[in-house]
Structure 1
């Protein structure tokens, strides 16, 4: 059984499906807890700052991306916490997962086409290659 579950999310549809899988992993385990990790990418962070009048609005906008996942976890009465970090998503998720010794990492697949994936690589593949715990990539 997995007690310490890391859910890496960006608020996308893929991430919401990943949340559903994380909830299923934790649902019948009273010792399970989910850490919801949202990484603010430096590239999108600059755009976010330009579109929000102050830091409170910006922080609220980022939290709203986690609302659906948070609601689904609460519905099942699962212990959870939320972490927001800044950096490049792949390496930041890997560093956080490895430093905090999670039992499993659950992450959504972005569904990049094969050419994009070959050239750029996806966050989920970068995480799967470098994280020291099992990784569940959800389509």
Structure 2
């Protein structure tokens, strides 16, 4: 008996498990952090060069849209960090059981979002 495989995948109908979502978000957050490095380095260097440039930096950071972008980077960092710790444990064969893997994936999502909200309130 041979299963008929789909000829095309409907990505809107595929439902990933929570560990799969955490894995994909780990990759997405890593790419986002890597691509944002030039912007963050430019802003950091500009804030240290002179007092006038620092005031310009503060004016840019005070804009609500820029604050949202920075909170997005904060989430990317926190999620990447928390998921990275989870993956390190998986690499040493800790937490490979299905229920444990699901629980740690949910914990990564909860902790990264909670820390983002807490630190985001401080940033705002």
TM-score, length of structure 2 as denominator length = 0.29
More strand by share: 1
Larger-Rg structure: 2
TM-score (norm 1): 0.27
